[in-house]
Each structure stands twice: as C-alpha cells, then as structure tokens.
A and B are shown apart, each in its own frame.
Chain A
C-alpha cells in the first residue's frame, strides 16, 4: 500500500501536520498513516483524520535514534511529512537517506503537480525563496504553527501499536530542560527585539520597560542568546531561531541581517531604532529612528503612556 505518512514527537505539531496531509490525501487519493509516540496523541490523530495511527513503542524514546525503525514503517510512502523540530529534522534526514528520497527542510508550501511534490523554501538564509520539485517518495519537514489543527473527522481512524528498535549505539546520559521563561514570543503581538547594540545585559531593562508598556515581549538576535547568554535561546529570532508574525516588531540596536529578518519579516509593522542610518534594518522597516537607543528608548517608553 502507498500512502501519506506523518510524524512529529511534538503532539501539537503532529496534529497541525494533519492539515497539509489531508490536502495531499485529496490530491493523491491515498490514505494517511500517522506515527505517534504516546497513546493520547495517537487517539487524537485518529480522531482528527489519520486513517491509521501507528503507536511506536520505543524504549528510549530518543527520536533521533528512530531513523531505521521509522524508515521500515514508511517504506511504501509517497510523501512523508515530519514536524520541523530539531529532533524531527534529524530524523527526517536519516529517513530520507534510507528511502533515497529528496527532502525539503522547512517547507513553506506543498503541492502535488504531475506526479511530483512541489515545495517552496528559504534559500541563502532568507535572501531568496526557492521552489523545488521532488520525485516520489518525497519527504518534507514542516515548521511549527504553519498550519491549524483540522476539525475532527467523521470516521476516526484505527490505532495499532508497533514495537520498534532504538539506536542503541547512542546512550543519552542526561537531559536538562531549558528553563523556560514561560514566554512564547511567537504568540506575542508586540515584540521589542534587542541586538548587539546593547552594551551589556544590565541595559536590557530599557527594552523590558518598553515591552511592558506595549504589553509585549522581548526577543533578540542570535548573538544575544547564543554568544552572550543574556536571554534564553527560545527568545531569538531568525533562520535558525524562531519565526514570529506580531503586529509590531520593534528592532532595537540590531543590524537586520537577512538571517535574522527572515524570522520577523512577516510582522505587520516593523520599526527600527539604530544609530547607523546605513544599517540594512532600515530597508526592512516601515518606520525608523536614526539615533542612540540609550537616548531613544527612554523617550519612547515615556511617550507611550502619555
């Protein structure tokens, strides 16, 4: 049997994957098989339109180690959709290699055209959008929040449990959850985004104060999170970070390199505050102030209440 297969270890994302999967089902007239790691998600997926759900019984639960197991289960696939988390992308690449299949990372769109999967994705870190066509079997990873969760289906699918073997060559000796600030910047509709223009961590209150006034959150560029560790990784925006679409994106002391902007450019209004009038951020912005953030931010924060 051929079919459309989907997997994500993230339950929310797994359900979102059903939406494009159902569209593909319409186009290909092939059944949807979803892979899940826990019973609850398996049940949800069956209820939301997966014809078959395979509940994987993995001892370790280490997603990256499930490559061979998943490959065996999706051998017959026409299209495989994998949730574009970091673990998911790793798994997908392994599966694609074993299937000798093409894989579109972070597909922005999916379509079936004359027996091929046509996808679009970002190239050159956001400078361009590339369209590629993949012969079947084709694999694509889908970023979180690209699609809504579908309505419940009339006829729920069936759930089967399957035992799978993990990659025992890798021993995971410990995991420490990143202490989440409980903030999901992708949900905020106003963001104050800080860059290297800030001289020290002690200056962040300037941005936090403004964000508070705006009832928004503080996000940042990669360097602030990954090199300086001033803010948690979950707060940085860009090609290798988060993608956000707030109503207001206030870029403060960040240059607006494409690798960053690709994560923010779908914002409704972009405002730039930068001391260098030649900084690329001004081309990417609706409004901008050329000036020292240390002078501008306090004024702006004050101006907003009044």
Chain B
C-alpha cells in the first residue's frame, strides 16, 4: 500500500497583492495565504488513490511562521498527517535552499513510495522543486503528470507536454509533479473541516535536520521585485446598441493602421 508524501507551499494569494503606484513596489500587506493552487491537485490525487486502494498521505511544507495557518486547510483536503517547517530562512529561500530543506526533512520522516508536488508554485512558478528534490535524494523524477497509477510498487504515468503525451513507468520510489488537469480538487465539507482539527500535525525544527547555515544562503538572491504595469489606452465602448460600439472600435483599429 503506497505511502504518499505531498509537498505543498503556503503562498500569498497574488490577487490580493497591490502594486504601489509611486515606486511600483509590491504591497502584500492585505494578501491572505493560500495553498499553492496546483498543490491542491497533488493532495487530491494522493487522497483519491489512497481512498481507492489504501495507503497513507502525509504532507510537508517549509515556510515562514505563517505556514501554521495552512494546517487546518491542508488536513481537510484528504491528508492524514501534516509536517511543517517554520523558519525565517524561508523568506529569502530560493529553489536551492527549498529543495535542500525539503530533502533533508524527507530523509528524516521518509521513506515514501511516491513524493508528489504541483507543476509549479503560484508565486514563483520555478518548476524546479520536484527535479531538485529527486536529484538530492537520488530518486527518479516524472514531471508534468496528468494521469497517475500506482500498482504494487510500480508507478505508471502519462505526462502531458506541448509536443507530445508520454507514457512512462518507474518501479520503486519516485518524485512526481502533477498538472492541474489531473483532477478537480475537492471543496472540503463540514465533516472534513471538523475532522482536520483532530488529525495529527508535527513541527520539524530546522535545526534538527542537519542543514548548515551555508545551505540556507540562497544562490539566487532577489535584488528587487517590481510590479509590472502595462500602460494601455483603456478606451471602452459601452453603447446600448452594440453596433455603435463595433463601429467605433473598427474606426479606432483603422486609425491604428491595423486594417
């Protein structure tokens, strides 16, 4: 019976991040946290397989003190147990640091048959963590998976790439990143939300992982992050009669020399 570990990231909801008009800096003061969108698909996939065939789903996250807020949510989505690493280093962590910390934690709490991640995190969308963690743990990695089967220690997947779809199999432990179209994540019901309160969660002290201070120094250091502002003409036609709007639009496009 497969033991799953799903890696999930607690990210800021980008919809609440405002761009300051004066210096284009980002204002995340009103931004709420959320489970990175595609990680919900990863959790859902593990939960469905376990509900059908048995097994277990643990989840693991590394973030700032705020990750504690994610526990109730993640445990209501089908996870059995949540491990969390809360450390300020996460604020500046790049994919190098993140993968090292996660790999170290997995060595401690593992082994697992299948380690799942999302295709990419909603904030960074590095698409690096799955291959990196696999490389550090010496496991094979199957990315961009939109169909997953686990049968007697053999993992069979269909990967969806722009150029082709690809079937692949691995026997033994593997790291898998899933696409958002692999499933529709459940919306937790009351019983699941209440049940979450009774499920176990365990904090892992970063200090207990034998990760050196040097390992916590990012190799990719953020210099700046500026809001992207598009200056567009924003001419909007809303005549009661659409034909009038269309006429105005066409003449505008003509004057733009488009036809």
The complex places the Cα of A172 from the Cα of B140 at a distance, in Å, of 13
Contact B164 A177 (CB under 8 A): yes
The complex places the Cα of A173 from the Cα of B144 at a distance, in Å, of 16
Contact A86 B232 (CB under 8 A): no
Q: Is A59 an interface residue (CB 8 A)?
A: no
The complex places the Cα of A89 from the Cα of B219 at a distance, in Å, of 18
Contact B125 A283 (CB under 8 A): no
Contact A133 B223 (CB under 8 A): yes
Q: Which of B143, B228, B237 contacts A127 (CB 8 A)?
A: B228
Q: Which of A89, A233, A258, A270 contacts B14 (CB 8 A)?
A: A258
Size class of B's contact patch? Answer: 35 or more
Contact A86 B140 (CB under 8 A): no
Contact B256 A118 (CB under 8 A): no
Question: What 1/0 flags go to B195-236 for Cβ under 8 Å of A?
Answer: 000000000000000000000001111111111101011111
**Which residues of chain A in 96-147 are interfacial with respect to chain B, using CB atoms and an 8 Å cutoff?**
96-98, 100-105, 118, 122-135, 138
The complex places the Cα of A259 from the Cα of B97 at a distance, in Å, of 26
Q: What residues of B have a CB within 8 angstroms of the CB of A104 in the complex? A: 220
Question: What 1/0 flags go to B114-145 for Cβ under 8 Å of A?
Answer: 00000110111111111110111000111110
Contact B228 A129 (CB under 8 A): yes
Contact A87 B161 (CB under 8 A): yes
Across the interface, name the chain B residue whose C-beta is closest to A137: B219
Count of A-B residue pairs with CB < 8 Å? 243
Q: What residues of B have a CB within 8 angstroms of the CB of A44 in the complex? A: none
Q: Which of A132, A174, A285, A304 contacts B250 (CB 8 A)?
A: A304
Contact B131 A93 (CB under 8 A): yes
The smallest beta-carbon distance between A12 and chain B, in angstroms, is: 13
Contact B223 A271 (CB under 8 A): no
The complex places the Cα of A270 from the Cα of B230 at a distance, in Å, of 11
Given contacts A271-B253, A283-B234, A285-B234, contact A93 B132 (CB under 8 A): yes
Main SS of chain B's interface residues? Answer: mixed
**Which residues of chain B in 1-59 are interfacial with respect to chain A, using CB atoms and an 8 Å cutoff?**
12, 14, 17, 19, 26
Q: Is A286 an interface residue (CB 8 A)?
A: yes
Across the interface, name the chain B residue whose C-beta is closest to A292: B242
Question: What 1/0 flags go to A270-297 for Cβ under 8 Å of B?
Answer: 1100000100001111111111100110
Q: Is A183 an interface residue (CB 8 A)?
A: no
Contact A226 B181 (CB under 8 A): yes
A residues contacting the other copy or chain, number (CB 8 A):
81
Contact A170 B170 (CB under 8 A): yes
Q: What residues of B have a CB within 8 angstroms of the CB of A290 in the complex? A: 236-238, 245
The complex places the Cα of A209 from the Cα of B144 at a distance, in Å, of 34
Across the interface, name the chain B residue whose C-beta is closest to A289: B245
Q: Is B165 an interface residue (CB 8 A)?
A: yes
Contact B162 A86 (CB under 8 A): yes
Q: Is A196 an interface residue (CB 8 A)?
A: no
The smallest beta-carbon distance between A140 and chain B, in angstroms, is: 10
Closest 3 CB pairs of A and B: A102-B219, A102-B220, A93-B131
* Given A96-B128, A178-B163, A178-B164, 14 other A-B residues pairs in contact with their CB atoms under 8 A: A90-B141, A97-B135, A102-B218, A124-B123, A128-B26, A132-B94, A170-B140, A170-B168, A234-B162, A286-B234, A287-B236, A287-B237, A288-B236, A300-B246
Interface residues of A (CB under 8 A from B): 64, 67, 85-87, 89-91, 93-94, 96-98, 100-105, 118, 122-135, 138, 167, 169-178, 190, 214, 226-227, 233-234, 239-240, 247-248, 258, 261-262, 265, 269-271, 277, 282-292, 295-296, 299-300, 303-304
